[in-house]
Structures are given as structure tokens and as C-alpha cells.
Amino acid sequence: MSEKPEQDERDDAHPMRRPLTRSNFESVVDKLLDEARSRGQFDNLSGQGRPLQEDPEERLVPPELRTGFRMLKNAGFAPPWVEARRAIEQDRGELAGWLAQANLRWPRLDEAARTRLRDEYRRKLDDLQRQILNYNLTAPESVGQIPGLKIADELAKLGGAS
């Protein structure tokens, strides 16, 4: 009585009924996608026919790490150098706003107030320069460096600093 049990016809019909191996993984995924496509599960999706939105921060991540970066970002995390670059860009924007306000006040200030304002601006520039240096020392080479500030040029933007 060596009867073989009847093989279920569905075993080969559905890709997930077979053991998954490295060699058949791609074909399993392809079959599942083809089935979903034939059932119309990809019809009328929002954004259909339009290119995917590119994440501007993705250029800051080496290509071999981008999948992991996307997963981290979707979970609310980012690599330290991405966070550092965000902070630098935010601080640059805030400093530009501060400089615009300082230049509006400049004509009404006496020499002592101008000196204090220049000193404050210099401290802000030094802090930003330090952030840029730390970023350049820690970010992967493949994402590029941020050019450092030319402090004298930046100081000259404050009320025509003398």
C-alpha cells in the first residue's frame, strides 16, 4: 500500500504554496505582481502615470545605503549627517533673517551697539562654521562636503562692516 497522496493541483498554481528559495524568489514576486496587475489592483492609483517624487535628502545618502535610509526615514529617523545638514541649512536661513533685521536696525545704532551686533554676528558665524566643520568630518565622502564660510566676507554683509 504505497499509495501516494493526491497532490493538490493548487500547489503549483499559487507561487506561495512552494518553498521559497533564492533561485525562485524573483519569479515568485513577478508572479504575484502579474496576478495583482491582472486583477486590476494597480489601476487608478493616485499618481498613476506621474514620476515618483524624489526626496532631496536622498542625494545625501550613498546609493548602497538608500533603501535603509528610506526605511529609517519612514520610521522617523535619519542618519546623523542628514540631520546635521538639515540643522546647518536651517541655521543658515535663520542667520540670513537675523542679518536682514540687523541691517535694518544698523543706521539707527551708535558705535557701541554696532560693535555688540558685530560681535554677536561673529559668534553666530563661528557656531555655523563649527557645525559645517563637524559635518564635513562625519558625513560620508560620497555625499560631498559643505563649503566653509569666509568669515571676513560674511562680516562685510553686516551694515558695510568696517
Which structural domain, as residue segments, surrounds residue 149?
A: 80-156
* Whole-prediction pTM: 0.58
Q: What is the pLDDT of residues 138-156, one digit of tens each?
A: 998 888 899 999 999 999 9
Inform me whether the pLDDT recorded for 34 exceeds 80: yes
Q: Is residue 86 part of a domain?
A: yes
List phi, psi (to 5°) of 124.
Answer: -65, -45
User: Tell me, what's the pLDDT at 67?
Assistant: 82
**C-alpha cell recorded at residue 71:** 526605511
Q: What is the pLDDT of residues 97-119, one digit of tens each?
A: 999 999 999 999 999 999 999 99
**C-alpha cell recorded at residue 78:** 535619519
> Which residues does 159 contact at the CB level (< 8 Å), separation at least 6?
102, 103, 106, 107, 114, 117
User: Tell me, what's the pLDDT at 42?
Assistant: 78
**How far apart are alpha carbons 15 and 12 in whole angstroms?**
7
Inform me whether the pLDDT recorded for 4 exceeds 60: no
- Cβ atoms of 86 and 73 within 8 Å: the answer is no
* Residue with the three cell numbers 536682514: 100
Give 32's pLDDT tier (boundaries 50, 70, 90).
confident
List C-alpha distances in Å: 145 to 32, 56, 82, 87, 136. 43, 16, 12, 15, 5
User: Tell me, what's the pLDDT at 78?
Assistant: 78
Q: Is residue 60 part of a domain?
A: no
Q: Is residue 161 part of a domain?
A: no
Give 22's pLDDT tier (boundaries 50, 70, 90).
low
Q: Is residue 91 part of a domain?
A: yes
| Chain centroid offset of residue 75 CA | 13
Amino acid residing at 71:
M
Overall size of the chain counted in residues: 162
User: Tell me, what's the pLDDT at 162?
Assistant: 43
* Domains held by the chain: number: 1
Q: Where are the alpha helices (DSSP H) in 39-79?
A: 66-74
Q: Is residue 36 part of a domain?
A: no
- Cβ atoms of 108 and 51 within 8 Å: the answer is no
